[in-house]
Structure 1
Amino acid sequence: MRYANTDPELMDLIRRFVAPDRRYMRLGGSGLRLSGPERDSFVRELVRDAGEITAAELGILLEGGWRERRTACWLVAVAGRTEFRTRIGELLLASGGPYQGSPCIALATFGTGADADLLCAYLDRYLPRTELVWDQGVVLSTLLHLDAVLGAERAAPYLADGGPWQQWAAATTNVIRDPREYQQVVAQLCAFADECAELFAAS
């Protein structure tokens, strides 16, 4: 992991891509509430930066903290850079704490069975860990979204009565009580990412 306070290269990338207008916060969901010129500007700048950032710079951001990773995963999603799938899957599976579910937006927008496999690998590892309240709810909601896109039922075993999700949720203080409801938020985030991706492709 790289740390901005000791890494001038990472700090420069944070100044350019992560920190402006607290982008990393808006990419967490608050950007969905933007409207009018403010929204247009946010989308335009995100699309611009998705085109300007290099693969090497994305790799550096993915080695940073959750803010840097969240931003990098959105830039990857907007630009459709599926070559980062394996690295993003590795980061998701390694986790290391809350707010590490940022890879979900990239995997959701890639939208293939391979992406669902990575989400399932996370759930297989972390749903049994009832002492950890990390991103299990976000990941399961993203898997539900991919199921809807792909016409699959990969999430069903996790949601079965008495199954892994119920056991984990009953033992934790997780804020996502029903991943089916949060699936709607995932769908909204993906729709926003898809809108940006269309503008990126047309630019």
Structure 2
Amino acid sequence: MPSQHPEKVGYGHVVESYVTRMYGGLPRYLVLNGGRFLGPRWWHTTRFTRHLIADAAAINDEELEALLGYEWRSRLTAGWLIGVDRRERFRARIGDLLLASEVCYSGGAYCFALARFGTHADAEILTAYLDRYLPRTDLRYDQPSAVGALLRLDAHLGTDHADRFTQPDGLWDRWVQALAHLQDSPRIHSRRTAPLDRPPVRLRQRLDPAVVSAGCAPVVRQRGRTARADRLVPPSHSASAPVWIGYAQPMWA
């Protein structure tokens, strides 16, 4: 899918209005990507969350399409705004972008949106993504976000879509275990590079916000070439399911 600046479709204001708005010296997209606002100790959490909810309600569909058609920062922000406001009419668009996995970092936001929609159709999209990318042990894209979102949907819908991925010695186990073996391999691919410059290197390890903001806990993820299976699954636990860290219910639930 080609990328184009929102200015070319008459929405040049959307990046400044929704993507790069500053909080505590950080642009919104970096705060969303790092999950800083999910913790109670960040001084700007209340203001940030209030503005995110308001913007999710105020942005129109054309502006969201303009963001989804641009680079990773804009797509990530659009995914969060769509999820917070539960714009289910974007389900197909979000699903196409997730399956294509063209750019870095935005996939977690798509998983968050699908978890927020909360239907069987969303579970089918996540299942299709995992069928395609979980067997690819050489790719570290958004597999943890997708597994977490699918587990959230299973809990909400009373289904068991995630079971065949998380069963012992299943696809999730093999994907996690491959990280330690492939970390020094030239064949290992991190997520695709952004059309513009790369994100700051300080974001090496973070809590994935894909599902924590849908009302459950995030998968712990490790950025960069040093991802380790033992960081995802401690030795005292089975590798048969993602590791969870609890958070309180979000303000927009």
TM-score band w.r.t. shorter chain: 0.7 to 0.9
Structure 2 unaligned segments of length 5 or more: list them. 184-220, 223-230, 234-240
Q: Which has the higher strand share?
A: 2
Contact kept in structure 2, 1:50 and 1:79, CA below 8 Å: yes
Cα distance in 2, alignment partners of residues 171 and 164 from structure 1? 11
User: Residues 164 and 42 from structure 1, CA distance in 2 versus in 1: closer, same or farther, beyond 3 angstroms?
Assistant: same
- Aligned-residue offset at 1:97: 4.8
Cα distance in 2, alignment partners of residues 150 and 8 from structure 1? 39
TM-score of the pair, normalised by structure 2: 0.67
Q: What's the counterpart of residue 31 of structure 2?
A: 26
User: Residues 36 and 158 from structure 1, CA distance in 2 versus in 1: closer, same or farther, beyond 3 angstroms?
Assistant: closer
SS in 2 for 1:181: coil
Write the letter of the residue equivalent to 2:232. R
What's the CA shift string for 1:154-191, capped at 9, x where partnerless?
Answer: 11101122211112222225737245324x46x76xx4
2:67 paired with 1:57: no
Cα distance in 2, alignment partners of residues 124 and 78 from structure 1? 26
Q: Which residue, out of 96, 110, 113, partners 2:117?
A: 110
- Aligned-residue offset at 1:11: 5.0
Cα distance in 1, alignment partners of residues 60 and 76 from structure 2? 16
Write the letter of the residue equivalent to 2:174. Q
Write the letter of the residue equivalent to 1:177. L
Contact kept in structure 1, 2:29 and 2:76, CA below 8 Å: yes
What's the CA shift string for 1:52-105, capped at 9, x where partnerless?
Answer: 211011011111222111111111122221000110011001113542322011
- Aligned-residue offset at 1:39: 2.5
% same residue: 39
Q: How does 1:138-157 map to 2 (within 5 A)?
A: 138-157=145-164
User: Residues 5 and 103 from structure 1, CA distance in 2 versus in 1: closer, same or farther, beyond 3 angstroms?
Assistant: closer
Q: Which residue, out of 71, 74, 85, partners 1:68?
A: 74
Q: What's the counterpart of residue 47 of structure 1?
A: 53
What's the CA shift string for 1:105-124, capped at 9, x where partnerless?
Answer: 11111111111111000000
TM-score of the pair, normalised by structure 1: 0.82
Q: Which residue, out of 120, 123, 144, partners 2:127?
A: 120
Structure 1 unaligned segments of length 5 or more: list them. 198-203
Q: Which residue, out of 83, 92, 100, partners 1:94?
A: 100
Contact kept in structure 1, 2:83 and 2:116, CA below 8 Å: yes
SS in 2 for 1:154: coil
Contact kept in structure 2, 1:77 and 1:109, CA below 8 Å: yes
User: Residues 150 and 71 from structure 1, CA distance in 2 versus in 1: closer, same or farther, beyond 3 angstroms?
Assistant: same
User: Residues 171 and 37 from structure 1, CA distance in 2 versus in 1: closer, same or farther, beyond 3 angstroms?
Assistant: closer
Moved over 4 A (4+): 3-11, 34-37
Contact kept in structure 1, 2:37 and 2:44, CA below 8 Å: no
Cα distance in 2, alignment partners of residues 150 and 12 from structure 1? 39
